[in-house]
């Protein structure tokens, strides 16, 4: 950063506005920004949803099954009114329910691993929406975040790093031309299967879901098919154009996701400011005495016994929530608040008995983690894995997993050799 003083020496040449605009357009069309951030969001949310589904496995019939308290018939009557999307409305059969639940679990696992990320992210969304919309009166804030992010993730290229997709791409690149020519069959097979589902979904569209969901699904499916065709037969400019479109969708959805997180904190914070309990510094005392949110009453009692502590935490919560969106412009402060928020959510997980909610919020926060930290974290995780599996460090056999485009500099841009992916937030 240069000092704002009008120093005559190191003053950078003024870049005309239209140049800046062109550069920005090039950036958002040539790169899917935040490869590490989007990957950690993918991992965080798929893990959260997976934990949740596994934990609720014994309760799945009571929660989402056709014979649960919120019966198929009740759900049908509500959905006829609100038009929510759930494939569980296709049939009231027990088997169909088990299939959907199983697919939701499988999609969470595969999204976590980053296996055919784009296609799987769509299945993940369909699974999450189907279960949650089937029983809307069962969810809490955690379900709500998963719901929203699962939709945004379908447009985000969240498998650029830390995924099986990235490993496959790296291996192919290592094999060179020959490897690139080898025809992949899994992708097309997956595409055909999903196409069948899509036709079924469209058939059932009068029963459930708004029109745009079907448009989204069809666009994504056709886009995947087009992508494959272009890769095979028109690797020139059409391929570059498709990449541009995918990057645009990614960057737009990522922006929306980040703004969404800011809106969550802004809403939570600004409304609290208006509450008398948050003003007099006793707010936290009350949740600590609600039966539904005190799995460890002695612990809650201990925390609630100190008036100063309760006030500090109550005020701190409001200050952090209100301030967070504004700190995004100041990297260091942002990172401090990010740590504070993640710690607070970890505390909430234990103290209020809301682990799924807390995990989802931490996963959402993670979109703002700095790239250096994530890269370091990734290296640590890889080393731990290698130690655990007692194998040679991955570097010996494979090139490190990095997004393909990151290696090169930006044209006319900040192209110094190191070029760590400077994201909007990094």
Partner 1 sequence: MSAHIDGSGERRPTAGILALSMPYQVVAAVALAAAAVLACLHLAMVFLHVAPSNTVTKQHGQAVDDWIYPEFEQNWKLFAPNPLQQNVSVQVRAEVLSDRDGSRRTTGWIDLTAQDVEDIRGNVFPSHTQQNQLRRAIDWYGNAHDEEGRPKGMRGRLSEAYMRRIVLLRIEGAGARADVGGKVERIQLRRTARPVASPHWSTEKRSTESSSRQMPWWDITDADRSRTETSR
Q: Contacts with partner 1 in 78-97 (CB under 8 A)?
A: 78, 81-85, 91-94
- What are the tokens at 247? 């990057």
Candidate residues 11, 15, 20, 22; the one interacting with partner 1 per rule CB under 8 A: 22
Contact flag: residue 74 with partner 1 (CB under 8 A): yes
Contact flag: residue 243 with partner 1 (CB under 8 A): yes
d(C-alpha 158, C-alpha 39), whole Å:
5
Contact window for partner 1 (CB under 8 A) among 18-26, 184-192, 326-334, 372-380: 18-26
Run of H or E residues at 371: helix 371-388
| Nearest distance in Å: CB 280, partner 1 | 8
Residues ≥6 apart with Cβ < 8 Å to 75: 86, 88, 89, 134, 135
Nearer to partner 1 by Cβ, of 84 and 113: the residue is: 84
Nearer to partner 1 by Cβ, of 186 and 305: the residue is: 305
Closest listed residue to residue 105, CA positions, set 122, 124, 121: 124
Candidate residues 70, 191, 197, 204; the one interacting with partner 1 per rule CB under 8 A: 70
Closest listed residue to residue 359, CA positions, set 137, 70, 54, 141: 141
Size of residue set near partner 1 by CB under 8 A? 107
**Burial profile 4-34: b = 16 or more Cβ within 10 angstroms, e = fewer:** eeeeeeeeeeeeeeeeeeebeeebbbbbbbb
Nearer to partner 1 by Cβ, of 101 and 285: the residue is: 285
Q: Per CB under 8 A, which of residues 344..383 are in contact with partner 1?
A: 350, 353, 355-356
d(C-alpha 350, C-alpha 94), whole Å:
35
d(C-alpha 424, C-alpha 426), whole Å:
6
- What are the tokens at 297? 């009453």
Q: Per CB under 8 A, which of residues 399..418 are in contact with partner 1?
A: 405, 407-412, 415
Q: Per CB under 8 A, which of residues 99..158 are in contact with partner 1?
A: 129, 133, 137-141, 144, 147-148, 151
Candidate residues 19, 20, 77, 383; the one interacting with partner 1 per rule CB under 8 A: 77
Residue 401, classed as helix, strand or coil, is: coil
Contact flag: residue 15 with partner 1 (CB under 8 A): no
| Nearest distance in Å: CB 350, partner 1 | 8
**Burial profile 249-261: b = 16 or more Cβ within 10 angstroms, e = fewer:** bbbebbebbbeeb
Contact window for partner 1 (CB under 8 A) among 36-44, 104-112, 225-233, 247-255: 247-255
Contact flag: residue 67 with partner 1 (CB under 8 A): yes
Q: Per CB under 8 A, which of residues 297..336 are in contact with partner 1?
A: 297, 304-305, 307, 310
Contact flag: residue 205 with partner 1 (CB under 8 A): no
3-state helix, strand, coil in the chain (%, to 5): 75, 0, 25
Q: Map residues 23-62 to x or -, x wherever contact with partner 1 holds by CB under 8 A.
A: --xxxxxxx-------------------x---xx--x--x
Contact window for partner 1 (CB under 8 A) among 20-28, 199-207, 375-383, 387-395: 20-28
d(C-alpha 200, C-alpha 391), whole Å:
46
Nearer to partner 1 by Cβ, of 70 and 315: the residue is: 70
Contact flag: residue 241 with partner 1 (CB under 8 A): yes
Angle of helix 307-327 relative to helix 331-351, nearest 10 degrees, comes to 140
**Residue whose pair of structure tokens reads 């038009």 in the numeric block:** 83
d(C-alpha 121, C-alpha 49), whole Å:
13
| Nearest distance in Å: CB 245, partner 1 | 5
| Nearest distance in Å: CB 194, partner 1 | 20
Contact flag: residue 272 with partner 1 (CB under 8 A): yes
d(C-alpha 393, C-alpha 385), whole Å:
9
Candidate residues 278, 313, 360, 363; the one interacting with partner 1 per rule CB under 8 A: 278
């Amino acid at each position: 950063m240069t000092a704002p003083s009008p120093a005559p020496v190191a003053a950078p040449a003024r870049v005309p506005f239209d140049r800046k605009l062109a550069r920005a357009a090039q950036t958002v069309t040539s790169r899917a920004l935040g490869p590490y951030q989007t990957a950690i969001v993918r991992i965080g949310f798929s893990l959260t949803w997976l934990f949740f589904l596994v934990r609720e496995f014994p309760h799945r019939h009571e929660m989402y099954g056709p014979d649960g308290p919120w019966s198929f018939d009740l759900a049908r009557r509500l959905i006829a009114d609100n038009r929510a999307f759930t494939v569980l409305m296709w049939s009231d059969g027990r088997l169909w329910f088990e299939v959907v639940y199983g697919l939701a679990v499988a999609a969470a696992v595969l999204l976590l691993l980053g296996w055919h990320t784009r296609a799987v992210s769509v299945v993940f969304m369909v699974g999450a929406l189907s279960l949650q919309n089937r029983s809307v009166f069962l969810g809490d804030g955690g379900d709500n975040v998963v719901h929203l992010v699962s939709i945004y993730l379908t447009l985000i290229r969240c498998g650029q790093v830390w995924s099986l997709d990235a490993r496959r791409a790296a291996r192919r690149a290592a094999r060179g031309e020959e490897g690139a020519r080898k025809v992949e069959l899994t992708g097309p097979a997956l595409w055909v299967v999903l196409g069948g589902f899509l036709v079924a979904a469209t058939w059932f569209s009068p029963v459930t879901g708004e029109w745009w969901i079907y448009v989204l699904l069809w666009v994504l499916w056709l886009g995947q098919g087009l992508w494959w065709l272009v890769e095979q037969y028109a690797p020139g400019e059409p391929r570059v154009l498709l990449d541009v479109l995918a990057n645009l969708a990614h960057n737009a959805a990522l922006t929306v996701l980040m703004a969404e997180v800011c809106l969550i904190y802004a809403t939570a914070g600004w409304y609290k400011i208006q509450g008398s309990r948050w003003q007099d510094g006793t707010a936290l005392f009350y949740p600590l005495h609600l039966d539904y949110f005190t799995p460890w009453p002695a612990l809650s009692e201990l925390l609630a016994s100190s008036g100063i502590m309760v006030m500090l935490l109550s005020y701190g919560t409001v200050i952090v929530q209100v301030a967070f969106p504004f700190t995004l412009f100041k990297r260091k402060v942002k990172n401090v608040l990010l740590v504070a928020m993640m710690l607070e959510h970890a505390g909430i997980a234990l103290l209020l008995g809301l682990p799924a909610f807390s995990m989802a919020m931490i996963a959402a926060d993670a979109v703002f983690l700095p790239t250096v930290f994530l890269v370091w974290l990734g290296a640590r995780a890889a080393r731990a894995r290698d130690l655990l599996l007692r194998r040679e460090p991955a570097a010996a056999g494979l090139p490190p997993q990095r997004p393909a485009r990151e290696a090169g500099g930006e044209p006319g841009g900040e192209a110094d050799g190191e070029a760590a992916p400077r994201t909007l937030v990094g």
